[in-house]
Chain A
């Protein structure tokens, strides 16, 4: 009996020691859960984003990690379904010492996770998507719509149209149609467009397209009938190419169509080729950047070693770069946190939030990381979780995307009051007390 007890105690001690050693080993790695969709209706667009995201993490590891801390990561496939996205989040959030950040690449999932992330104290980076009012860090303390929101996109689209027409005053009496994915994502720009319409006297025609967007004949017949001066395309996945094909089939000029940055990548136009010639889309700063130093580094340090995540010829494509940039922003958030809380240490969610709220990627730093010409500086604060609102326009020439505009910046005078109003309403509804500048200093 005594011997049995002794053996049991020894076994338990061994198991305890082994778990402690494993935990210690795991603690040396910063864990990045990665929500992806490589399958389903939106897979062709989700896959290059995921490949860029993961390749950048591999590049950081190949260069020695984040101040010596290696990155571990794990994919969870959710097929762009909100319920499955939330499931993935729940499954991964507590693994390997806890998720560093989540980037769901879905506005629907972002809406669903906004409250959960605050409870779990895990930052939610939504670069170029998500809730537009979440740029107010006083209320949305865990959301980071870095580089731009849909209100930024819609505002710049109107600025671009005004420039083409010869000034904001020339917008009076014009008709602008919004062909949008009938989902939280597609509906995001509507308040901004309505605000701008009130200011400048143009009409907005709203044309929702049901998921996944393969049937748009009725939509484009309505466009043929109402003949809007411009069409804004707010689609994702197959909806974008279908819109362009229907525009061709109904004779609507592609030069009058402007897409959001999720409707301006290779999968959207490749199959349409000449039919999409002249079509323009906003960019989330970058376009296709196969010659950028960071893309070349990935080819040399990741793909050349047979560790590339996707096909080699995809490196540098628009959505690949979007994933790469998103990954870089998360990594820089961790590195910034390490500057305060200790280099070479694994950061907690709260520490990473501090890092993301104090990002300061100036041009010199960006150039050093290989992002020269890819993006402009980003500087966030406790109250500004967006950090930058620069946009360029690129156009499809039948074979490739080319930049066709200078830099635009979203008009803060229009967007800021809307952000404050919407986030204030959110705080009231959820009974949240917004952070004050003094609280931010802590």
Chain B
């Protein structure tokens, strides 16, 4: 029982991190109807900026305080993500208003390759560290109840809390602010939103910037766990089944979907994996999402699309 709980908790914490990456997909899809394949590349780009500026800034300004270096690096990396958002709107999206979804998807594929290449050219292609003081050693709880206790990974626990806080903040932003409502209006119909005076260009910059911040936070957490390197871009692949399952238009869907996928893949690897040779968690997550789609094609919380003829 103790081992099952450990696996379950591990899965929930991993799922929370998947939700954070999935949120980037959802935000951009909600506001621009674009399935942003570049979300993983944005995570890599943002993490590289954070890691490198945290290393460079103390040298430029002549101090050694790691906390201050991290704060300044976060601010600079956020500014970099704003520039990225602005460039994407100015050079790409502006020219593709009301184009087919497939066209926009292919464009984001191009953006992904560009960001990966430019990111590694600007910031280097080595392995870089992000040290935000996350504890690395585990803690054992409920030792009286379970033999050997329940192992909780402190780093994952804190990361899950940060992810949960960001997800909650973004949900509020979408539901309760005028900008959030404008974002949703743009997502429903570009032309209708423009006709009532919503500035499309500004909204797109805002939403890509917000997705960039989500990518930055995800990049810091994953980068602190894995080191900042190219593999971070593949983290987005972990979030794809989450958005398939949760629905592309739902923030709560990203959260619940993330948790289901996180738990599902860990339990499957531990309990089914040994029976079939192991290494199944990645494809099992996709299979789980596809099974859900058989019953709810729009995902758990996605909007049902009804076209009247």
Contact = CB atoms under 8 A, between A and B. Distances in A.
Nearest to B135: A249
B173 interface: no
B225 to A, nearest CB: 7
Contacts of A115: none
Interface in B103-158: 120, 125-127, 129, 136-138, 151, 153, 155-156
B279 A182 contact: yes
Contacts of B270: 218, 221-222
B10 interface: yes
Interface string A224-242: 1100000000000110011
B136 A221 contact: no
Given A39-B120, A225-B3, 13 more contacts: A40-B230, A213-B231, A217-B10, A217-B11, A218-B7, A221-B266, A238-B229, A238-B231, A248-B137, A249-B138, A249-B153, A251-B151, A275-B136
B6 interface: yes
Contact of B278 (A207, A213, A251): A207
B89 interface: no
Interface of B: 3, 6-7, 10-11, 14, 120, 125-127, 129, 136-138, 151, 153, 155-156, 225-227, 229-231, 234-235, 238, 265-266, 269-270, 273-274, 277-279, 281-282
Given A207-B278, A245-B226, A249-B153, A219 B269 contact: yes
A270 interface: yes
A26 interface: no
A3 to B, nearest CB: 53
**Most chain-B Cβ atoms within 10 A of its Cβ — which of A47, A215, A275?**
A215
A250 B137 CA distance: 8
Nearest to A222: B270
A208 B276 CA distance: 11
Interface residues of A, number: 37
Contacts of A432: none
B226 A248 contact: no
B136 A206 contact: no
A248 B156 CA distance: 13
29 contacts: A39-B120, A40-B230, A41-B229, A41-B230, A41-B231, A41-B234, A44-B125, A44-B229, A47-B125, A208-B277, A208-B279, A212-B231, A212-B234, A213-B231, A214-B226, A217-B156, A217-B266, A218-B266, A218-B269, A221-B10, A222-B269, A237-B231, A238-B226, A238-B229, A241-B226, A241-B227, A249-B156, A250-B151, A267-B126
Contacts of A44: 125-127, 229-230
A372 to B, nearest CB: 30
A15 interface: no
